[in-house]
Amino acid sequence: METTLSAGNRSMLRELVSRSFGSAAEAAAEICHLVRAALGADLVYVSCLDGDEVEIVAVDDALDTGLLPGARLPQDATFCRRALHGSGPQSASDLEGGPYADLAWPRAAGLRSYAMSPLWSGDGKATGTLSVLDRRPREFGEEELAVLELLGGLLSREQRLDQVRAREASRAAELEASDGRYRSLVDDLGDIVVEIGPTGQITYVNAAWSKLSGLSIEEMVGKDMMEHVHPDDRMLAAEHMAEVLSGADTVRPDAAREVRFLAADGSLRWMSVRGRAVFGDDGQLAGFLGILHDVTARVEAEQAVRDALSEAEAARDEAERASSAKSEFLSRMSHELRTPLNAILGFSQLLELGDLSGEDAENVEHISRAGRHLLDLINEVLDVVRIEAGVLSLSLEPVDVGEVVTESLDLVRTAATRRGITLRAPDRLNGARVVADRQRLKQVLVNLLSNAVKYNRDGGEVLLSWAAPESSSTADAGDGDWLRVSVRDTGRGIPADRLDDVFTPFDRLGAEGTDVEGTGVGLSLTRTLVEALGGRIGLESEVGRGSTFWVDLPAAPRSPAEPADAAADPGLSHTVLYVEDNPSNITLVRRVLARRPHVRLMVVQDGAEAVEAARELLPDLLLLDLHLPGMHGAGILAALRSSDDPRLSKLPIVVVTADLTTGNERRMIDAGATLFLPKPIDVHQLLSVVDDHLPQS
């Protein structure tokens, strides 16, 4: 029996075709319901192919057959496997015969007739069916099949729309996830990211801005960024933004500007601002994208370094001024103290050379002894002050130990002879050298030798030797090459519990109650000088047997022995020019040289006249003070040494001065001085110098 659609059903179907649905499943459910009502069928369903199975998408079942949406059936158990080989709607008026006679479930449900329209994909492949079944054997008319084909096409369209909607939803989800990840990443940045529109108003800031300003992102949108820039830096920030927006500053590596921002807690934060202009698709300026990096810690650290450097420079300048003042003071004090001592010791020595006896001779001896003691104390105290003030400069160079030992022994030989003390040293000088300041090394050895003589027994012995230290000594064998100079005496020795007090200033270990002269400063000064030379000092002592003081100094390469200077030719009469402005010193030297009849003494008191006097007199020997009116002695020395006249350029020049500033002797010798004699003048030493350079016939 062929059926046709009523006018009402046609109207519902037209409305159905023109409708839009939210999904293919929604369309399938409604179409199943309307088709069953329109065609008066018992069962309508929509299926979808999924591999070898068929999934039921929607069902309208008046028979309660148990077929439900979501059910999955093998293709062989459904109409799909055979029906989908066609190209359009198909129908069967009676399922008892024909191609579907072997399907068990329709017969079990009492279904007799069947009609179907395929669902198509966009590329023309069958994807499912819209199926109608009824308990009555019936013929489906052309109009009904056409309706099924039309609705099948509608379902196919909705399925394709589902795919489009799924793709769009997936893309939207991806975009939303990407945007979420981007915003999360931007919000997690320690840097501030800001977008500013073409009118200068904020369109976006990330969460880092809230930490700085205390304002939420929503509160900042639409506001002027400059409100949070320090007033003094707003012009700089505006200029930077103008440069960037003009495109002039978008590629330079130094495009960043450091600008101060006002934080929510009232503090200032230094931000390095880097940005670029943003343009729309139409090429028009869309705004500004900036990144603000907090550089407060670096800026404050740099400022702290600058402040520290400034303070260090100020402290250095102050220290240099203080050091200069101390050096000037020491130089002045040395000169002022030594000048009167020069007269005291010089004239006392002249008296000693006279025919004095009895109480007069004893008085002069006391004067000389007290003067020498005072001179020793002045020398040692001034050296200690120099070292503590940091103004003791040293000229470290290879020094021949044998030469310095010989000179040092000569300086203590007289005192040793008075008490019958024998001085012993190696007979052969082996060329051993140390790195030291020659003058200070001699001072160290003289101090040790003087103590060895003073605290020795009458008729005793002092042995001076040098060699590489033994590995068992306090000098570590692995820390370089050393040379040990030892001074051993046969005195009373030092108790073991007092060894640590030996180098304590002004502690004489009970010797202050004896007639042995001393200040208690010598050994303390000696240790300080040795350490300044880069060496070490120590001692070993045994009560009743004596003491051994040793000094370790860095060894220098040995040098070959140098030939002795040739003796000066003797002369019958010689001229000595003395450049000195102190009357007492002039008188002293005049009386000393009076003991040499073959010597004529000429005196010049003004430094400016000294060079001209030397040209006129052509002296055989020049005695030269340094601190002179008119010209400093160093200038006189330089002028004579640069003279074209060899009688002046090679003239023996002996510097006689109370200025014993550290390094002064070395500077004068390097400048061409023949010898350096310190004041107070040692009469015997002066006469020895005169005899060496002006021998009698």
User: What CATH number is associated with residue 26?
Assistant: 3.30.450.40
Average pLDDT on 61-65 reads 89
Average pLDDT on 545-552 reads 91
Average pLDDT on 216-223 reads 75
Average pLDDT on 618-628 reads 93
Percent of the chain with pLDDT over 70: 80
Q: Are residues 223 and 156 in the same domain?
A: no
Burial pattern 569-590, b for ≥16 Cβ within 10 A else e, equals eeeeebbbbbbbbbeebbebbe
Q: What is the CATH number of the domain that holds 472?
A: 3.30.565.10
Q: Are residues 456 and 508 in the same domain?
A: yes
pLDDT at 38: 83
DSSP 216-245: -HHHHTTSBGGGGB-GGGHHHHHHHHHHHH
d(CA 464, CA 466): 7
Percent of the chain with pLDDT over 90: 15
pLDDT at 303: 84
Q: Are residues 102 and 152 in the same domain?
A: yes
Residue tagged 């200032």 (tokens): 268
> Could you give phi then psi for residue 665, rounded to 5 degrees?
-60, -45
- How many other C-beta atoms lie within 10 A of the C-beta of residue 622? 28
Residue tagged 């200025």 (tokens): 659
Q: Is the pLDDT of residue 381 over 70?
A: no
Q: Are residues 204 and 263 in the same domain?
A: yes
Of the three residues 530, 556, 582, the one that is the final residue of a domain is 556
Q: Is residue 562 domain-resident? A: no
Q: Are residues 525 and 661 in the same domain?
A: no
Question: Residue 241 carries which side chain, given as an amino acid letter?
Answer: M
Q: Is residue 108 domain-resident? A: yes
Q: pLDDT band at residue 577, thresholds of 50, 70 and 90?
A: very high
Three-class SS state of 167: helix
Q: Is residue 330 domain-resident? A: no
Q: Is residue 362 domain-resident? A: no
Q: Are residues 204 and 157 in the same domain?
A: no
Higher pLDDT residue, 600 or 388?
600
User: How far, in Å, are 79, 544, 549 from residue 423 at the CA level?
Assistant: 136, 19, 15
Range of the domain at 507: 394-556
Q: Is the pLDDT of residue 552 over 80?
A: yes
Q: Is the pLDDT of residue 369 over 80?
A: no
Of the three residues 498, 525, 556, the one that is the final residue of a domain is 556
Q: Are residues 447 and 580 in the same domain?
A: no
Average pLDDT on 75-92 reads 75
Average pLDDT on 487-496 reads 88
pLDDT at 674: 94
pLDDT at 66: 85
Q: Is the pLDDT of residue 475 over 50?
A: no
Residue tagged 């108003």 (tokens): 201
Q: Is residue 385 domain-resident? A: no
Q: Is the pLDDT of residue 374 over 90?
A: no
User: How far, in Å, are 194, 196, 201, 460 from residue 221 at the CA level?
Assistant: 10, 9, 7, 102
Q: Is residue 337 domain-resident? A: no
Q: Is residue 569 domain-resident? A: no
Average pLDDT on 169-195 reads 65
Of the three residues 294, 316, 340, the one that is the final residue of a domain is 294
Q: What is the CATH number of the domain that holds 587?
A: 3.40.50.2300
Average pLDDT on 672-695 reads 90
Average pLDDT on 188-201 reads 74
pLDDT one-digit tens code per residue, 305-353? 888 888 888 887 777 676 566 656 656 666 677 778 777 888 888 887 8
Q: Is the pLDDT of residue 23 over 80?
A: yes
Average pLDDT on 477-494 reads 80
Q: In the predicted model, what is the mean pLDDT of the chain?
A: 79
d(CA 227, CA 293): 18
Q: Across the strands, what pairs with 397?
A: 436
Q: Is residue 331 domain-resident? A: no
Q: How many domains does the chain have?
A: 4
pLDDT one-digit tens code per residue, 255-314? 677 888 887 777 888 888 877 777 877 877 777 777 888 888 888 888 888 888 888 888
Q: What is the CATH number of the domain that holds 207?
A: 3.30.450.20
Q: Are residues 580 and 678 in the same domain?
A: yes
Q: Is the pLDDT of residue 97 over 60?
A: yes
pLDDT one-digit tens code per residue, 504-544? 765 545 444 455 555 556 677 788 888 888 899 988 888 88
CB 81 within 8 A of CB 54: no
Q: Are residues 494 and 616 in the same domain?
A: no
Whether the link from the prior residue into 680 is cis, omega within 30° of 0, is yes
Q: Are residues 474 and 597 in the same domain?
A: no
Q: Is the pLDDT of residue 386 over 80?
A: no
pLDDT at 390: 58
Q: Are residues 539 and 602 in the same domain?
A: no
Q: Are residues 585 and 548 in the same domain?
A: no
Encoded tokens for 586: 């002039």
Q: Across the strands, what pairs with 3?
A: 140
pLDDT at 477: 37
